[in-house]
Structure 1
């Protein structure tokens, strides 16, 4: 088994151990984490704890993860736009339309299939379908994500995500003209009780915070920049719809009558984090793809 440690911060004081582990390991399911705890793989200051144990600042959380199964995913020679690479990690500019990891209906052609062809080693603390994947972006969202090549890097990056140290900026095109220059959306996100295929604003959901500012106003559209404080599934798409400005082209949360953006007009343009080995702050930025720029140009030409 591979063992990891984390010192509980002041911000995490009195957080249940299962919730803290879920925040540190965002790609792990709650049932997996509950399994670690029930099997005695989780300790606080070397003592076995139950899932409802509330961690105290300064305590040392230690957990062991069973060795992963041998991968049964096909490596595929798919071109990757690698923005940065070193022995510990890669930063990828994921194209619009590419699924991040294999799942039902998407067994091939994913970012993971491409990564397995490119890399000999990827972190193994996630499920066998998600080697190296620290965080995800949606299939039709383009842009930056970081991939871990080893478990040390994966855990350290996951901790930065949990403590909100990772900088993630997106740009989007939304329906409607936002009447102010910036704002903060603070609304919990969970499964939509009326449609389990969607996420929604629900009282029992997980805390979710999105900061946004206007890049350009148009009479019927707005070009915005969104910065994530949390990273919930479909967060920007759900939050912008919640305040009345759904994303252009969004087939799940958008308007029926919309511009053709080949899926939601959303691009992960900037990513910043502290390198887990060198402790150097690293920041990357990439331009939105051609289809995004074309939609923006079409809107400009309307007025």
Structure 2
């Protein structure tokens, strides 16, 4: 087991934030897990996650050995849009879960990645190797994946600092009158249904920008840009302003367009390359079913 020693000089704040700033190759979520597992000692004593560091504090971190991956690699076709030694960009199909969980042990993007990609970052453990961010099972589109821990930290920092680019296309119920808008409403777990998120007082800040692309009879096609990345953010925000995503089984109306889930697609993904610093932007076309549905709406108009 590796040990990392840190002496606080003049840093201030919560220990997880301070250590994530000092230890550039380790994410804040990883440090929070070490705190939870009591692997971080301050001045000879196990500390809590909300501890605020003080000048001259001596911190020892017992870094556990990486767990051997035991998620099964599966020969599942995936569309790799881009790949190099640090990152890859994948166009995830609708219906595919990103990583294994209690209800989805097989057929996930991670199962496929383990088969096709030799190296993936270990920061998120054995269940989510390489996964920097997620999109919902029935949302299609672009995801960035890290092939090593250094790249993972760099990409995660861009998400945290809101410097990455994420644009989505959604077909929503109703005809939005404004051509552009911003939804700034905090999101947290719903008090009525633990499986759902909702706009609630005291939730985490969440900001979504939208622009109308096309209007139909009873529906609107919009492009949305995420400023934050909360769970189900677009789906929750669009329901909140009265224009739920079509086909959404959780946040939309029962009477909706036929499909395989919500008509939501991660169309554009941009980030600075973790090694070269070059801005890279990728775009994925709408799935066939999405395009056919739009054609039908145009014909109905």
Q: Please give the TM-score of this superposition, normalised by the length of structure 2.
A: 0.86
Distance in 1 (CA, whole Å) between partners of 2:19 and 2:203 is 17
**Alignment check: 8 A CA contact 1:18 1:33 kept:** no
SS at match of 1:197: coil
CA shift, 1:51, in A, is 3.3
SS at match of 1:216: strand
**Alignment check: 8 A CA contact 2:210 2:223 kept:** yes
Of 282, 285, 300, the residue aligned with 2:283 is: 285
> Which residue matches 2:292?
294
Q: 1:122 to 1:258 in 2, by over 3 A?
A: same
Q: Please give the TM-score of this superposition, normalised by the length of structure 1.
A: 0.85
SS at match of 1:273: strand
Q: 1:3 to 1:159 in 2, by over 3 A?
A: farther
Distance in 1 (CA, whole Å) between partners of 2:42 and 2:295 is 53
Residue range with higher mean Cα deviation, 208-217 or 65-74? 65-74
**Alignment check: 8 A CA contact 2:16 2:32 kept:** no
Structure 1: where are the runs of 5+ without partners?
Answer: 5-12
Q: 1:161 to 1:77 in 2, by over 3 A?
A: same
Q: 1:96 to 1:204 in 2, by over 3 A?
A: same
- 1:32 and 2:23 aligned: no
> Which residue matches 2:7?
none
Superposition RMSD in Å = 3.0
> 1:60-88 CA distances to partner (integer Å, 9 max, x unpaired)?
x9977533311111111111111000011
Equivalent residues, number: 285
Q: 1:159 to 1:31 in 2, by over 3 A?
A: closer
**Alignment check: 8 A CA contact 1:190 1:202 kept:** yes
Structure 2: where are the runs of 5+ without partners?
Answer: 5-10
Distance in 1 (CA, whole Å) between partners of 2:103 and 2:120 is 23
Aligned pairs (5 A) from 1:194-273: 194-273=192-271
Aligned pairs (5 A) from 1:80-99: 80-99=78-97
Distance in 2 (CA, whole Å) between partners of 1:240 and 1:211 is 11
Distance in 2 (CA, whole Å) between partners of 1:295 and 1:169 is 20
> Which residue matches 1:177?
175
SS at match of 1:128: coil
Structure number with larger C-alpha Rg: 2
Distance in 2 (CA, whole Å) between partners of 1:200 and 1:14 is 33
> 1:187-238 CA distances to partner (integer Å, 9 max, x unpaired)?
1111111100111111122111101010012231100000000001100000
